[in-house]
Amino acid sequence: MRFFSIYILAIILILSAYGCNWSPYNATNKIYRKQARNYAARLKEQPDVEANDSIKAPDHFVGTTNFTMRKPNFIVIHHTSQENSDQTLTTFTLPRTEVSSHYLISKDGTIYHLLSDYLRAHHAGAGKWGNVTDMNSCSLGIELDNNGKEPFTEPQIASLLSLLARLKQTYNIPTANFIGHADFAPTRKVDPSIYFPWKMLAEKGFGLWYSDTLKAAPEGFNPRLALRLIGYDTHDTTAVIRAFKRHYMQDTGHQLSPMDMDVLNDLMYKN
- Domains, the chain, in order of start with CATH, read 72-209 (3.40.80.10), 210-271 (no CATH)
Nearest Cα neighbor of 106 from 78, 166, 77, 146 is 146
Tell me the three state secondary structure of residue 88.
helix
User: What is the pLDDT at residue 4?
Assistant: 44
What pLDDT does 47 receive? 79
What letter represents residue 223's amino acid? P
Structure confidence at residue 260 (pLDDT): 97
Which stretches of the chain drop beneath a pLDDT of 50? 1, 3-4, 6-15, 17-18
Q: Can you name the residues that pair with 183 across neighbouring β-strands?
A: none
What is the reported pLDDT for 62? Answer: 81
Per-residue confidence (pLDDT) for residue 3, from 0 to 100: 45
Give me the pLDDT at residue 55, please.
75
pTM: 0.88
- CB within 8 Å of 136: residues ≥ 6 apart: 120, 121, 122, 123, 124, 125
Strands (E), the chain: 74-79, 103-105, 111-113, 139-144, 178-180
CB distance 27 to 92 below 8 Å: no
Q: How many CB atoms lie within 10 A of CB 146?
A: 25
Residue range 49-87, pLDDT digits in tens:
776 767 777 778 788 888 888 899 999 999 999 999 999
Max Cα–Cα distance, the chain, nearest Å: 96
Q: Which pLDDT belongs to residue 70?
A: 84
The residues with which 52 forms a beta bridge, in sequence order, are 55
**The pLDDT of residue 14:** 45
Separation of alpha carbons 134 and 48, rounded Å:
26
- Quick check: 73 and 139 in contact, CB under 8 A? yes
